[in-house]
Amino acid sequence: MDRMTAPDHAPPLVTDRLGRRMHDLRISVTDRCNFRCTYCMPREVFGPGFRFLPRGDLLTFEEITRLATLFAGEGVEKLRLTGGEPLLRTDLEALIAMLAPVPGIMDLTLTTNGSLLEKKAAALAAAGLKRITVSLDSLDDAVFARLNDVDFPVARVLAGIGAAAAAGLAPIKINMVVRRGVNEGSILPMARFFREQGHILRFIEYMDVGHSNGWKLDEVVPMREILATIDAEMPLDAVPPLYAGEVADRFRYRDDSGEVGIIASVTEPFCGACTRARLTAEGQLFTCLFGVRGHDLRALVRSDADDAAVRERIRAIWSVRADRYSELRSEATTPLPKVEMSHIGG
């Protein structure tokens, strides 16, 4: 059988121990980033001496495409490219062009900090990218600089968002991580601005991913507080998810002027419906954002293993999955070993 040819009679889609299938695959294409966000890659850890992955350790575009094709055969319909900062990966447009025609993939998207988006948006769209998500934690330059820690201006991120809209990468989603004592005062200004712009703003509760960000529970601004803040000025109504396992709770402005989402994995975890797998830049498969260890797929794809063998390995890993960290989170679980957000791809 050809290495890229699926079997004629595919087995039933695999589910994990809790009956959850695979629907989303998040693919980290690099562990490098040009920001040093305090909740993800703080400078004290990821300073000048930090050793990032050598180029040869990264999955090639061909290897990523092969794996994405096999995951699609197991029911994955959505691919999201992440990092690090994915736009730092040279010729990323070529990878997008390879992934866009993969059979079964209905949604190909990318999450970026927006720093390189203004000059790359048109090429990304031309290559076949469907949508884009941009991380932006405040419209206030001083607050944003405190978070990104490289003095990157808000205006340049907004210019990138404008370029993405012009290129047709829609709907555009904006992710805002909310950390108490840092940027909760930006909730309403962000909601007002992106409502006017017609983009979807999503608030993310500050999470305990990895060990470098100094996470504390009292720095989490819970979903109900975020909702109450917005609803007091711009009334909201809950709307149903677009598909089973969607991570964001969705709320529509009552005047039908748009929507916001909230990802509340700390205060209202959604593990029971989680359908996401994560592939790191060097080919480690993780079945949970808070995973302790990954499973090496790179060695397998660089061996003589055919597609059937690789696919069987993917099925074997997923079939024993029982992850539900956020539902079990406690004082006892937060110190457990976890992979850093920048490595696992968020």
Is the pLDDT confidence value at 244 over 80?
no
Assign 5 a pLDDT band (cuts: 50, 70, 90): very low
Domain at 93, CATH number: 3.20.20.70
pLDDT > 90 in the chain, percent = 73
d(CA 224, CA 215): 20
Greater confidence (324 vs 289) lies with 289
d(CA 202, CA 187): 10
CB burial of residue 142 (10 Å; 0-12, 13-18, 19+): exposed
Q: Is residue 1 domain-resident?
A: no
- What's the confidence (pLDDT) of residue 4? 46
Report angle CA 81, 120, 48 to the nearest 5 degrees.
70
Q: Is residue 193 domain-resident?
A: yes
Residues 292 and 337: beta-carbon distance below 8 Å: yes
Q: Which of 5, 71, 17 has its CA nearest to residue 283? A: 71
Residues 188 and 230: beta-carbon distance below 8 Å: yes
Residues 60 and 91: beta-carbon distance below 8 Å: no
Tokens describing residue 174:
């904006």
* Owning domain of residue 204: 24-344
- What's the confidence (pLDDT) of residue 2? 42
Q: Is residue 123 domain-resident?
A: yes
pLDDT > 70 in the chain, percent = 87
Q: Is residue 3 domain-resident?
A: no
Mean pLDDT of 142-158: 97
Q: Is residue 15 domain-resident?
A: no
Q: What is the mean pLDDT of the chain?
A: 90
Place of tokens 């805002």: 176
Report the number of distinct structural domains present in the chain: 1
Give residue-wise pLDDT tens across range 44-76: 889 998 999 999 999 999 999 999 999 999 999
Give residue-wise pLDDT tens across range 259-317: 999 998 888 876 778 899 999 999 999 998 777 789 999 999 999 999 999 999 999 99
Assign 330 a pLDDT band (cuts: 50, 70, 90): low
Mean pLDDT of 5-32: 83
Q: Is residue 4 domain-resident?
A: no
Residues 289 and 235: beta-carbon distance below 8 Å: no
Mean pLDDT of 242-247: 77
Mean pLDDT of 126-155: 97
- What's the confidence (pLDDT) of residue 7? 46
Is the pLDDT confidence value at 342 over 70?
no
Q: Is residue 230 domain-resident?
A: yes
Mean pLDDT of 151-166: 98
- What's the confidence (pLDDT) of residue 158? 98
- What's the confidence (pLDDT) of residue 341? 60
Greater confidence (58 vs 1) lies with 58
Give residue-wise pLDDT tens across range 99-126: 999 999 999 999 999 999 999 999 999 9
Assign 243 a pLDDT band (cuts: 50, 70, 90): confident
- What's the confidence (pLDDT) of residue 172? 97
- What's the confidence (pLDDT) of residue 148? 95
Q: Is residue 16 domain-resident?
A: no
